[in-house]
Amino acid sequence: MDDVKQARKFLLYFTIGLIIIGFIMLFFLMNNVYGVDYPVDGFGKLKWCEHPLKEMELLDRRGDYTFYSYDGDNRVGGFNTQRVSYKFCRDNFCSVAGAVEGDYNTFVKLHDLFIAYYGPPNSYHPYYWFWFGETNIMLYYDTIDKTGYFYYYYTPPHIEIAHEREKAIEAKRKKEGKPPLKSIKRPPTYNKRK
């Protein structure tokens, strides 16, 4: 039972860390840095903006966001995954994160597969690779844990929530007599949402 609690705790912290990275990626989008659009329409059995599957296990609920785990999707590009966490924005599938354990050479094969499928990354740093578009993708290799992490982040639901929060902030600022803030721009693919 303690192992399950520790796994859930780790998954929660891991997911929160990836959410922070997601907000950094969202910051780039809000400043109109919008990359190449590649065909990513979801992950595993789920398409973007679909509702959680019945067999998914609820991990956590925080405001507009709900987190689930699911044992049915355990492979990325032929590689076994672990600790996959699904994030839903107002019950619409909007991001997924997971881990691929193995030495760096194993991870390089996954990295090469991503480059073959998505093209060269828009940004990279030692052990971090980013692809920006309607769906942002991040790969990261942790040299201490010997684990690679992947993160898919579908931007329209996140931008919609950010836009609604911006409107609420602007209404409050207007009521307080303060000047307006810079507007959040929606990506050109926003109207494709279901």
Q: Is residue 188 in a domain?
A: no
> What CA–CA distance (Å, rounded) separates 12 from 16?
6
Residues 6+ away with beta carbon under 8 Å from 22: 95, 136, 151, 153, 158
Q: Which domain holds residue 109?
A: 2-157
Quick one: pLDDT at residue 12?
Answer: 62
Quick one: pLDDT at residue 24?
Answer: 59
> Which segment of 74-78, 95-99, 121-125 scores lowest on mean pLDDT?
74-78
pLDDT band at 111 (very low <50, low <70, confident <90, very high): confident
Residues of the chain with pLDDT > 70: what percent?
Answer: 72
Number of domains in the chain: 1
Residues 6+ away with beta carbon under 8 Å from 190: 156, 159, 160
Please state, as a whole number, how many other Cβ atoms lie within 10 Å of the Cβ of residue 103: 11
Q: Which two tokens stand for residue 69?
A: 């785990």
Q: Is residue 133 in a domain?
A: yes
DSSP 8-class letter at 84: E
Quick one: pLDDT at residue 67?
Answer: 94
Quick one: pLDDT at residue 60?
Answer: 92
pLDDT band at 184 (very low <50, low <70, confident <90, very high): low
Mean pLDDT of 156-164: 84
Handedness of CA 149, 192, 25, 65 (dihedral sign): negative
Higher-confidence residue of 8 and 143: namely: 143
Classify 139 in phi/psi space as left (phi over 0), alpha (psi -120 to 50) or beta: beta
Mean pLDDT of 143-156: 88
Higher-confidence residue of 20 and 97: namely: 97
Longest dimension (CA), the chain: 58
Q: Is residue 191 in a domain?
A: no
Q: Is residue 11 in a domain?
A: yes
Q: Is residue 141 in a domain?
A: yes
What predicted TM-score, i.e. pTM, was given to this entire model? 0.68
Q: Is residue 95 in a domain?
A: yes
